[in-house]
A and B are shown apart, each in its own frame.
Chain A
Amino acid sequence: MTQPVLAIEHLRVDFPEVVAVRDLNLTLDAGDVCGLIGPNGAGKTTTMRAVSGLQECTHGQVRINGHDLAREPDELKRQLGFMPDFCPTYDQLTAAEFLDHFARAHQVPNRQKRIQECLELTWLSEKSWALCQELSRGMKQRLVLAKTLLPDPKVLLLDEPASGLDPLGRIELRKILLQLRDAGKAVLISSHILTELSGFCNKAAIMERGKLVMFGGIAELGKKMTTRKISLKWRGDGDKAIEILKSGGVKDLEAQSNSATFRFEGGTDGLDELLKSLVNGGTRVSEWRAAGDDLEQIFLESGARELM
């Protein structure tokens, strides 16, 4: 069995009046993109700061490729990149100089070439000679991401990377993250906006008041779910379909002339049976969507509070 790239074991962080993170266990393999989801104050940022070594933890171990953070902090600095939820930049430096600062600090070989690569990856090549203070919020965010990528870390911790980005910025960020996933990086990405994470996360970790309430592969979590939200469309008369749905024990049924949404309790097999009954009953099903692999659905299923 190969060892995980990132392993967090029994992590606990205490603040004066609250236990910010309590007994958190999480593992990521190469190519994993894990969405760390939770409402504000759930402990996402504290977890990331503790894993990166910026926050003192009470108990617990963080290992990167088997190296213990507490014993080998230098190894951690080489293999882990942390992007905070704000954009710390030297306003009076140009984007290239800002990256040069961190490339020197990480002793990156072929510094200028690597800086250019990172600028290109984050679509900032044209802004390399612009002062950081002249960059927009989104550009700064990408610049800090470029800084995080400079030493080519194996593990990336991205804390709310899309906060404050415009729609175009979010699309660009999503493309970058997909590239990183394809490059085999292990990425832990936090957000309280689930739509930001949908589509490229293959794992999800849901936090609530410092505790990890659910963790696993998105598909695996979807299978475990007992309640699913289904949307259905058909052609022709729908009376028969609605009748079958009602007799099939669905909940919260909202029917239109040729579509319906409902909640279904009964697992994947039960859902297959319901679909078969509809088709056998003469309903011409044109669309059948089970939202089981959707992060929002998983989050709601986890029992955590509503996202803010």
Chain B
Amino acid sequence: MKLNENPIFITQRRLAHRGGVLAPVLIAGLIGLSLLAGLVAYRAVPADFRGFTTLHEAGKTFYAWTIAAEILVLVIGGFSRVSRTLAEERKAGLWDSNRLTPLRTSQIVTGYWLGSALREIYMALTLAGMGLVIVVLGELPLTLWFGTQWLIFSAALFFWLIAILAGLSFQRPQIGVLAVLIFLAIQPFSFIFPGFILTNFLLPSYGIINLFQRGAAPEKTYSEHDWVQLPHFFNLPVPPILLSFALQLSLGILLWREATRKTANPFQALMRRSEALAIFGILLVAQHGLIWGLWRGRFPNEAITQHPYPSDNPDSLFPAVHCGTIFLAVLILAAASPQPETVRVTILRRDIKTLGAIFSQSAVALALILGALASVVLFSHFAGSIAKSWEIYLIAAGNLVGVFLIFALLFEFCRLRHGRRAVGFLALWLFALCAMPFILAAVFGNSAFAKLSLLAPGVTALSSMGDENLNYLLGIVAAHFGSALLLWIAWQREWRKLLARASVDSKPD
């Protein structure tokens, strides 16, 4: 079925047009015209614009503002629109009505994916058109326009897929929008080491800025240098557009599979275990591949002695990546964790009532697999220096496995024990385990308390470069595993209760 024959796309287009598209297009046009007028004025009287030394510089500045507006409209506005449309149509029962038609799930997802944000697409196309005029008048290379537009539209399509999943998962679409806004708010922090942080390639800020910087002489500072040069993936230079596209495409395929599967059966968990593992693997390998060149497998000995700009110290980079890995795993475990109710129904359906069957379905098994994968990828930084740095590796890897396990166990325990109040209790436990030690450290003026936090051992070991009391950190990791064991016992007890209930329910009527 062609897109213009897809009933959902047609309806979304009708709804967009009925709501009015002229005003948003005119707003975009006015923004573009204002910026274009600035460039025309510069060309007429350059002396009036003291901020610019060349026509190229003026053209780049005005074009940069144009695409900033385009990103805002297409990525943020589009994300909000897509997730809101899905959530509202689910609430109204229209999504179910569409699911009851013979439309294939891929056609339903496509209709919402490409049809919901048509207003934003029209606005973006207007801004892109204005941008092209600015590029031509500013005598900038057309590759700048093609490259930036490619990156913006591919990023928009990628983020809209996430919006589809947000709309399918959350009753309140604002949650998804909030997540994107948080992502954008923390994005500037990744500018400290632009070529080394993955988020600069997912939202392709590196690729866009790199296109603007092309041809400029690299300045002798670490961060400026990074925007100009090609990023390195396991020490091999890779064009940033290619890296962004490869990441968005590979993750996009997995997100697409999830969206179509969730459309076919909304009662399933958001992610299958294989998909969760693939997403985690892609992001993890990509991130560690970007920073691998700093130590080249000999952490922490190599440091960056062979790097062209050793004055810039990337000490905080590895701990930041460690925290990012934990954050990512927590999100994936939450998305892949099945509802206890779904597990109970599966137990009833299959008539298998063993803890082994539950373990195979629960997020705890996935936590172990993710932990193992993260440990293997982490090892790539220690492969050449493991004899000297084995303690650091053990602490960091043990910390990752421990945190993943504790989170998965806690998440399911709270769901089983507290039902609808699970999120609140989970937040309480995580606060106690992660944040409370830092508060105690501040209150008592003793940093030893802070190291008890779930997040602390790995971060401390990776940032210490070996000068920390590693035995103490190893002891803390062991204590975390002890906590995981206690949680494991409590987790088993809760599942046994559910199994007992399932046994009663499955008795013949």
Which residue of chain A has its CB nearest to the CB of B342?
A: A56
B11: shortest Cβ distance to chain A, in Å? Answer: 5
Within 8 A of B (CB), among A234-291: none
Q: Which of A102-110, A121-129, A225-233, A294-302 contacts B (4 or more CB under 8 A)?
A: A102-110
Do the beta carbons of B93 and A84 come within 8 Å of each other? yes
Partner among A86, A106, A211 whose Cβ is within 8 Å of the Cβ of B509: A211
Mostly, the A contact residues are: mixed
Do the beta carbons of A22 and B348 come within 8 Å of each other? no
Do the beta carbons of A58 and B509 come within 8 Å of each other? no
Do the beta carbons of B100 and A56 come within 8 Å of each other? no
Complex Cα–Cα for A100 and B154 (A): 32
Q: Which of B12-20, B32-40, B69-77, B272-280 contacts A (4 or more CB under 8 A)?
A: B12-20
Complex Cα–Cα for A137 and B341 (A): 36
Q: For residue A84, which residues in chain B have a CB less than 8 angstroms away from its CB?
A: 93, 96-97
Complex Cα–Cα for A105 and B349 (A): 33
B388: shortest Cβ distance to chain A, in Å? Answer: 54
Interface assignment of B344: CB less than 8 Å from any CB of chain A: yes
Do the beta carbons of A54 and B99 come within 8 Å of each other? yes
Interface assignment of B101: CB less than 8 Å from any CB of chain A: yes
Q: Number of contact residues on A: which range applies?
A: 20 to 34
Do the beta carbons of B14 and A105 come within 8 Å of each other? no
A284: shortest Cβ distance to chain B, in Å? Answer: 52
Interface assignment of B92: CB less than 8 Å from any CB of chain A: yes
Do the beta carbons of B5 and A104 come within 8 Å of each other? yes
Do the beta carbons of B348 and A14 come within 8 Å of each other? yes
Complex Cα–Cα for A288 and B367 (A): 75
A54, A77, A104, A105 pick with most chain B CB within 10 angstroms = A105
Do the beta carbons of A102 and B265 come within 8 Å of each other? no
Interface assignment of B345: CB less than 8 Å from any CB of chain A: yes
Q: For residue A15, which residues in chain B have a CB less than 8 angstroms away from its CB?
A: 341
Q: Given that A74-B102, A78-B102, A93-B11 are known contacts, is A14 also in contact with B267, CB under 8 Å in the complex? A: no
Interface assignment of A23: CB less than 8 Å from any CB of chain B: yes
Q: For residue B229, which residues in chain A have a CB less than 8 angstroms away from its CB?
A: none
A86: shortest Cβ distance to chain B, in Å? Answer: 6
Interface assignment of A112: CB less than 8 Å from any CB of chain B: no
Do the beta carbons of B93 and A52 come within 8 Å of each other? no
A163: shortest Cβ distance to chain B, in Å? Answer: 15
Do the beta carbons of A22 and B100 come within 8 Å of each other? no
Within 8 A of A (CB), among B407-435: 419
Interface assignment of B27: CB less than 8 Å from any CB of chain A: no
Q: Write the A70-110 contact mask toward B (1 if CB under 8 angstroms, else 0).
A: 00001001101010101011101100010011101111000
Interface assignment of A59: CB less than 8 Å from any CB of chain B: yes
Partner among A14, A56, A92 whose Cβ is within 8 Å of the Cβ of B265: A56
B261: shortest Cβ distance to chain A, in Å? Answer: 14
Q: For residue A58, which residues in chain B have a CB less than 8 angstroms away from its CB?
A: 345, 348-349
Do the beta carbons of A23 and B11 come within 8 Å of each other? no
- Can you name 23 A-B pairs with beta carbons within 8 Å? A14-B341, A22-B509, A23-B509, A54-B96, A59-B349, A74-B102, A77-B100, A80-B100, A82-B100, A84-B93, A88-B93, A89-B94, A92-B18, A93-B14, A101-B7, A101-B10, A101-B11, A102-B7, A102-B97, A105-B8, A105-B98, A105-B102, A106-B101
Extra 12 A-B pairs, beta carbons < 8 Å, given A16-B341, A23-B509, A92-B15? A14-B345, A59-B349, A74-B102, A77-B100, A77-B101, A86-B93, A88-B97, A92-B18, A93-B15, A101-B7, A102-B97, A104-B7
